[in-house]
Structure 1
Amino acid sequence: MIEARPALDPELAALVAAQQHELRSAAFTPDDDATYLVAIVDGRAVACAAWRPTLDPGIAELQRVYVRPAFRGRGIARQLIVWIEEETLAAGRSIIRLEAGPCSPAARALFQSSGYDQVDGAFVKRVVALVQ
């Protein structure tokens, strides 16, 4: 199950803290413009992702894709990405950009297999509707 969560949700914060620890990145500052998602397995928050509109019309930024290590390899991240693609397209944003930053080989493979091209240090995809 994937559900939207507010930026200050404690389970979301725990997931982001785990991601930051793994990547050794800066502290999390919630973004009020972002839509946050949490994947739930057996009542437990196990993954998260977010997207936010950019200042450029038609473009969205994919953020915070993270799956707890014990739940990787089950397609959860891909489900989150698909959900975000559908939401951004419905919001009139057909281009999604993800800053590459510190990215594992598995994450790079996920984004590339999901149709994202690496352009100038970011992954970019033009999203199209499956049914018109």
Structure 2
Amino acid sequence: MESTLTREPADSPVVLELCVAQQAELAYRQRHVVDNTPKHLDPRISFVVAWSSGQAVGCAGLQPLEPGVGEVKRMYVRPEARGQGLSRVLLAEIEALARACGMRALRLETGRLFHEAIGLYTATGYEPVPRFGAYAECEESVCFEKTLSLAISPCP
């Protein structure tokens, strides 16, 4: 599958559409009946969207957490586009963006039952860390961190 990437703001309709799909899948897989539909995404999140044949098929966001540290947010690839390496491409692009912004580390959270995601993160150099921030008390969460080498150029 040939894909292209674009950068999108958190309020982009395509980002919101992908985040709604992501949250619906999370609710289904975790058997939650609550409404996880994102009503508002932090405007500081910079998104990368993957496109194939004119359709948005995946996204990942970068949110600043503290000086030098960012968080990978809303990583998602539609089921029909999985198995083709898009998650790795999206994650690599978020890491490049983080480096360009002077971030020295990235953190992320995923669910304990999301073995595919855990496999991706550990295979790409993320190490388990204690749960942080809003995830600190969430028993279903597992958190990871990766130290980044810095780029020379300023944040775009």
TM-score, normalised via structure 1 length: 0.91
Aligned length: 130
Moved over 4 A (4+): none
Corresponding residue number in structure 2 for 1:8: 11
Q: 1:41-61: CA deviations, max 9, x gaps?
A: 11110001101111x211001
Give the aligned partner of residue 146 of structure 2.
Answer: 125
Q: In structure 2, do the counterparts of structure 1 residues 72 and 60 end up closer, same or farther at CA, with 3 Å as the change threshold?
A: same
> CA deviation digits over 1:22-80, x for unaligned, max 9?
111623121111101110011110001101111x2110011000000011111101111
Q: CA RMSD in A?
A: 1.7
Identical aligned residues as a percent? 35
In the alignment, the residues of structure 1 paired with residue 26 and residue 12 of structure 2 have an alpha-carbon distance, to the nearest angstrom, of: 21
Q: Which runs of 5+ in 1 are unaligned?
A: none
Q: Which runs of 5+ in 2 are unaligned?
A: 28-34, 131-141
1:49 aligns with 2:52: no
Q: How does 1:1-132 map to 2 (within 5 A)?
A: 1-24=4-27, 26-28=36-38, 29-54=40-65, 56-101=66-111, 104-120=114-130, 121-129=142-150
